[in-house]
């Protein structure tokens, strides 16, 4: 083989090695930025978890010593929340089905 073919092969090899290193560095830098953003968001959430929750000091007595009406009211409020969530889910599903029914019209 003539010497210029070896020169072309060597230059091609060097070009591929350099382009591979550049490619790896660019993708590594982008991945580092993504990981840094994820770490920042995680740190904020962990910091928020460390803060004390606001507590309602309505009645500090143990629940079983309170009147039965307190328990009934609390149950009614919780059940109302459950019903509201079920209705919201039902209405979201109905909206989505209505949209799907008319998407090809």
The model's pLDDT over 8-24, given as tens digits with 9 standing for 90+, comes to 999 999 999 999 999 99
* Per-residue pLDDT band at 35 (split at 50, 70, 90): very high
By the 10 Å C-beta count (0-12 exposed, 13-18 middle, 19+ buried), 70 is classed as middle
* Per-residue pLDDT band at 29 (split at 50, 70, 90): very high
Comparing CA positions, the residue from 54, 92, 56 lying closest to residue 77 is 56
* Arithmetic mean of pLDDT, 80-94: 97
pLDDT, tens only, 41-84: 999 999 999 888 877 766 677 878 888 998 899 999 999 999 99
* pLDDT of 18: 97
């Amino acid at each position: 083989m003539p010497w210029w073919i070896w020169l072309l092969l060597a230059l091609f090899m060097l070009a591929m090695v350099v382009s591979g290193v550049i490619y790896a560095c660019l993708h590594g830098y982008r991945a580092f930025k993504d990981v840094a953003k994820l770490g920042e968001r995680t740190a904020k959430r962990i910091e928020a978890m460390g803060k004390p929750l606001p507590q309602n000091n309505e009645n500090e007595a143990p629940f079983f010593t309170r009147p039965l009406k307190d328990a009934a009211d609390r149950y009614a409020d919780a059940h109302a929340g459950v019903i509201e969530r079920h209705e919201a889910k039902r209405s979201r599903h109905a909206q989505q089905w209505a949209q799907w029914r008319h998407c090809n019209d």
